[in-house]
A and B are shown apart, each in its own frame.
Chain A
Amino acid sequence: MKITRRSVLGTAAAAAAAGALPSQPARAANKKLTIGVCSDFSGPYSDIGGETSVACVRQALQDFGAANKGYDITVIQGDHQNKPDVGAGLARQWFDNGVDLLIDVPNSAVALAIAGVAAEKNKTYINSNAGTTLLTGAKCNAQTIHWTYDTYMLAHSTGGAMVAAGGKKWFFITANYAFGQLLRDQTSAVVKAAGGTVVGDVDYPFPQTTDFSSYLVQAQSAGANVLGLANAGKDTVNSIKQAHQFGITQSGMTIAGLLIFLNDIHGIGLETAQGLVLTESFYWNLNERTRAFTKRVLPKTPANYPSMGHAGCYSGTMHFLKAVDKIGVDAAASGAAVVTQMKSMPTDDDAFGHCSIREDGRFMCPSFLFRVKKPGQSSIPWDYYDLVHTTPADQTFQPMATEGCPLVKA
């Protein structure tokens, strides 16, 4: 046979395919699992999700000791492009082709679409990176767990701290979709309950807006003393940078960035971001365990430190594997069975420490109020936060009785 490039490539491809087939007497061939990371890999949320989420899932496999325990776990990834229909289609396709766990999913609109698919196909779905409280409220289901954070936590922690510090007249700049509106409404409720007022609100088109100057000038002319940013990702970065240019803070207004991740602070730069108050449920430099976790995962994602959404992917995967280990790989085909098992045992990992999962699928962790350091105070790379306040897990999230989750019996 004449050796051509094509035949070489063909042989290589056939060999690779053969390797993927379960034809060899692989060690414990029945302990196969597939984990799908569905995230934003190219758009506004790709730094808070994306490749670093994949790295964290892989780190969980390693720390769990999957290979030594006889598991053969494949990790695949897919880009939902911030479109609910694309995300739901991908989820459907993955679940039909044997994906056992779907994880990450920044963007609340996509997150909710996928929750519906997970319930329909009875597969495990851990959302780490979306904010909407509907995932554990009216839209909750037996296959979904909401890790990391939600809009209630952000509204109460950051919003509550701002009102307590005297910020009573709020002007909101809101990303006009599921997440932004919910975050604005919940923060407004916190502000009003504490005796504050909302003097104005603009709903800007998401995701095409890059210039926020018009809204900033409106906020100034409305006489607000707190600028509430109900947005995320690069929108938050742009709003804060431009607020700085328009002298918002010099004119006596305080910025309340309701959802800011470590990666956003990196993009804004400490010079502009210093003094901002924000809430995350994980920070890499929080304690010995978080630092140990970060040190292990960094070689997989050297340019981007893990923020809370990434850590949630690690913690969620870890707990999923422990649950599957208890009930067996065959039983794990049922999402409801896995999730029931996950809820029945406490969680423990380096990123979040000892936590638990509530009946409605809410991962119960403490939240931390941070203040961004001044440029001179930061000595090592990505060392950006000072801890201001810790809210215990049972006060961080909305009480189940008021959520309206159908899973919770009255």
Chain B
Amino acid sequence: MLMIFGKPLPLLFGQLLLGIINGSFYAMLSMGLAIIFGLLRIINFAHGALFMVGAFVTWGLLTYLSLDFWWALFLAPVIVGAFGLLLERTLIRRIYKLDILYGLLLTFGLALILQGGFTNYFGSSGVSYNAPDALSGVVNLGFMYLPVYRGFVIFAAILVCGATWFLIEKTRLGALLRAATANPGLVQSFGVNVPRLIALTFAFGVGLAGLAGVLAAPLYSVNPNMGSDLINTVFAVVVIGGMGSIGGAILSGFALGIIEGFTDVFYPPGSAVVVFVVMAIVLLARPAGLFGKLA
């Protein structure tokens, strides 16, 4: 068998694929963060908690309303997005004019409340959710067994990331959003309702977290801490990609998933640290991140 650095080649192929799957989640979550930060200048620490809420909504739709995964794929992001809209209208809009740290504290507090509330009702072990029948089963790829559902996650993530990037960077709506961030007064004078635009942007970013939560529900145990486990890594991804850069967030999300996957083979105890090592190196070489521009 062909070996590279003492590891069989099929194993490394397997890790590459697994890295891309984990990268899918990093990409989807960090993209939402990048959109919110880029347009609202809010560091949304509640993003992980909203991801968790998305997973619980998915579970709740099945358990209480008998609506399956495909319904959840559409409904859960809408529900989480609506919840985000509510948060924006009642709380977050009040701190736009304040220092950026206030947003961080507010959203961090919201994250703790959500996490604590769900722990209180569901316990820390959480609940379980199975992949839909159409996506269960395993494909033998020769070098590894790939669960069909994980393949679907890659496909969905690439689709979502691509569509979002296109929406923000290439459409008139996206142009309007970017303009509203750069100079809200000017855009408003053209008759655009900027506060509504910003609120909807927040809801959209949060809805993306909800969607990632739906996709994660069948993979991990649906538990109140699932977001906080992930959020630190996701923030590192955003920093590496460049705060506010959507393309940067997507690319570095996938890249870091892959780097982490290989660390799992060569030195497993290091897999939790490797993302932060990369972050430190990137910050030393390019303080604004790989794709960021210094303000």
Complex Cα gap A250–B137 (Å)? 10
Q: Does B221 contact A44, Cβ atoms closer than 8 Å?
A: no
A46 partner residues in chain B, CB cutoff 8 A = 119, 123-124
Knowing A202-B268, A247-B138 touch, does A237 contact B221 (C-beta < 8 A)? yes
Identify the stretch in A126-134, A207-215, A283-291 within 8 Å (CB) of chain B at 4 or more residues. Answer: A207-215
The A241-278 residues at the B interface (CB cut-off 8 A) are: 241-242, 245-247, 250-251, 263-264, 266-269, 271-272
Beyond A221-B11, A238-B221, A245-B131, whether A42 also contacts B119 by CB under 8 A is yes
Q: B193 interface residue, CB < 8 Å from A?
A: no
> Which residues of chain A come closer than 8 Å to B116, judged between CB atoms?
42
How many angstroms from the CA of A304 to the CA of B22 in the assembled complex? 32
Chain A: CB-nearest residue to B8? A221
Instruction: Check if B271 is an interface residue, CB within 8 A of chain A.
Output: yes
Q: Is the CB–CB distance between A234 and B271 below 8 Å?
A: no
| Contact mask for chain A residues 33-57; partner B; CB cutoff 8 A; 1 contact, 0 none | 0000000001111110010000000
**Chain B 77-102 interface 0/1 with A at a Cβ cutoff of 8 Å (1 = within):** 00000000000000000000000000
With the chains together, A238 CA to B226 CA distance in Å? Answer: 11
The answer to whether A217 has its CB under 8 Å from any CB of chain B is yes
How far apart are the CA atoms of A203 and B124 in the complex, in Å?
23
Please give the distance in Å from A91's CB to the nearest CB on chain B: 22
- Asked whether A47 and B10 contact (CB < 8 A) given A238-B220, A245-B149, the answer is no
Q: Nearest Cβ distance between residue A341 and chain B, in whole angstroms?
A: 36
Q: Size band of the A side of the interface? A: 35 or more
With a cutoff of 8 Å between Cβ atoms, the chain A residues found around residue B188 in the complex are none
Would you call A217 and B220 a contact (CB within 8 A)? no
Closest Cβ–Cβ distance, residue A74 to chain B (whole Å): 24
Bound complex: CA of A42 vs CA of B123, how far in Å? 8
B128 touches A272 (CB 8 A): yes
Docked Cα-Cα span, A210 to B224, in Å, equals 13
Instruction: Tell me how far the C-beta of A47 lies from the nearest C-beta in chain B, rounded to whole angstroms.
Output: 4
- In Å, the complex CA distance between A73 and B17 comes to 58
Question: How far does the alpha carbon of A209 sit from the alpha carbon of B229 in the complex, in Å?
Answer: 8
Cβ–Cβ < 8 Å partners of A217 in chain B: 11, 14-15, 18, 144-145
Interchain CB contact under 8 A, B149 and A209: no
Bound complex: CA of A246 vs CA of B140, how far in Å?
Answer: 10
Given A241-B220, A245-B219, check contact A234 B125 (CB 8 Å).
yes
Which residues of the partner chain B approach A247 to less than 8 Å between Cβ atoms?
138, 145, 147
Q: Which residues of A contact B (CB under 8 A)?
A: 42-47, 50, 176, 202-205, 208-211, 213-215, 217-218, 220-221, 233-234, 237-238, 241-242, 245-247, 250-251, 263-264, 266-269, 271-272, 303-304
